[in-house]
Amino acid sequence: MRILVIGSGGREHALAWKIAQSPLVAQIYCAPGNPGMAGHAKCVDIASGDIDGLLKFAADRKIDLTVVGPEDPLAAGIVDRFAEAGLRAFGPSAAAARLESSKAFAKAHMARHGIPTAAYAEFANADDAIEYVKSQPLPIVIKADGLAAGKGVTVAQDIETAIRAIRESLDEGAFGDAGNRLIVEEFLDGEEASFFSLTDGHTIVSLASGQDHKRAFDGDTGPNTGGMGAYSPAPVVTPEVHRAIEEQIVRPCIEGMARDGHPYRGVLYTGVMVTASGPRVVEFNCRFGDPETQVVLPRMKSDLVPLLLACCDGTLDRHRVEWHGGACVTVVMASGGYPKAYAKGMEITGIDAAERVAGVQVFHAGTAMKGGRLVTNGGRVLNVTAMGSGVASAVESAYAAVSHIRFDGAFHRNDIAHRALGRRNGCP
């Protein structure tokens, strides 16, 4: 088979790495890819948003399966375009991808189908939103309705922060069209987890749980980011919580999409807050999460490719997933200044030494080649990933690998998986 992976980040590197292990695959292409992905695939210079270019490439090269990594092309209808051309692409249609591309759509869907989530109100006018916020308890959550590259959410601890977030989005256009409408919702108290489900629109196959770390600095402090690290499995997702997420959230969501005329095929990422009253939805994403994919796929013993094909072909009921034991941890090495302004072009050294640590794989996220040197090319630069017999051993290996890697301005969190380690040590 010939497979095309769309995207250039750590998630797509992990996907290409896992797909390359399949005996079904003869050739992998990545568009546009990155230097790390070049070790498993041929990178082609087509942007992930260039749907016409990607479609032409897939048709010319007779691609058997296209795997879409980022959310933007999914929201723009790439799967619909490929289907119209008779080409198979893994991911939801644009109509189904509204579960991520419009938080208002997702909230209305959950309300309609009885899926537990935070109470909310929807606004297009800043003054109306501010008046509502003043009547609500704090903290409160402000979310841009559309896709804002993971930066459209503010957890406001005080009214001034809430008002500033509302004004920036609705009056100042901080998130462009994505912020023309806001969701204001209650703050959920609990522990968050990430839950992946593969589906062909009918059958649902749950994958391993994970947990990421959104805040930039140790102790869950600092600004929100796209994710500074992750681990799998997440101990907060007990067998009972796992069943509750499947039965109360994922199944009603997928069945509801089918009944509403927008069957959902692909992977559904459910961000869940595990509260005292049970799991409640924080958000839905229409693609594999980043950096959670980097810790879930290394734990998967099964061949990923037949599962992706089955989601496209409606045959997922014929498949099951097997897992390696132990745990997986990834530590994000980021550019100084991230998630705000940061420099690019810093030379990276030490990856070979890092990957000599047992159980370690380094997934590239924001890298490029310049004059024969590997350099930084993004905010999140590398995902240093390690398998271990348990969370503690995986953490130890990941940080041992991190210690070998150097680039100017590099920083990382030192407490990835602290919640899992706290539970292991009998802490809350």
- For each of the chain's 428 residues, which pLDDT tens digit applies? 999 999 999 999 999 999 999 999 999 999 999 999 999 999 999 999 999 999 999 999 999 999 999 999 999 999 999 999 999 999 999 999 999 999 999 999 999 999 999 999 999 999 999 999 999 999 999 999 988 776 788 889 999 999 999 999 999 998 998 889 999 999 999 999 999 999 999 999 999 999 999 999 999 999 889 899 999 999 999 999 999 999 999 999 999 999 999 999 999 999 999 999 999 999 999 999 999 999 999 999 999 999 999 999 999 999 999 999 999 999 999 999 999 999 999 999 999 999 999 999 999 999 999 999 999 999 999 999 999 999 999 999 999 999 999 999 999 999 999 999 987 543 33
In words, the CATH class of domain 327-424 is alpha beta
**pLDDT at 424 (0 to 100):** 56
Domain 191-318 architecture: 2-Layer Sandwich (3.30)
Q: SS3 breakdown of the chain: % helix, strand, coil, rounded to 5? A: 30, 30, 40
Query: What residue spans in the chain does CATH classification 3.90.600.10 cover?
Result: 327-424
CB 362 within 8 A of CB 412: no
SS3 385: strand
Helices (H), 260-389: 293-296, 304-313, 351-354
Query: What residue spans in the chain does CATH classification 3.30.470.20 cover?
Result: 191-318
In words, the CATH class of domain 2-91 is alpha beta
Q: Give 40's DSSP letter.
A: T
Phi, psi of 191 (to 5 degrees): -115, 130
Domain 125-180 architecture: 2-Layer Sandwich (3.30)
Give 249-253's long-range contacts (Cβ < 8 A, gap of 24+): 249/115, 249/116, 249/195, 249/279, 249/281, 250/195, 250/197, 250/204, 250/206, 251/204, 252/113, 252/114, 252/115, 253/99, 253/109, 253/110, 253/113, 253/115, 253/284
| Single pTM value for the model | 0.94
Query: What residue spans in the chain does CATH classification 3.40.50.20 cover?
Result: 2-91
**pLDDT at 150 (0 to 100):** 67
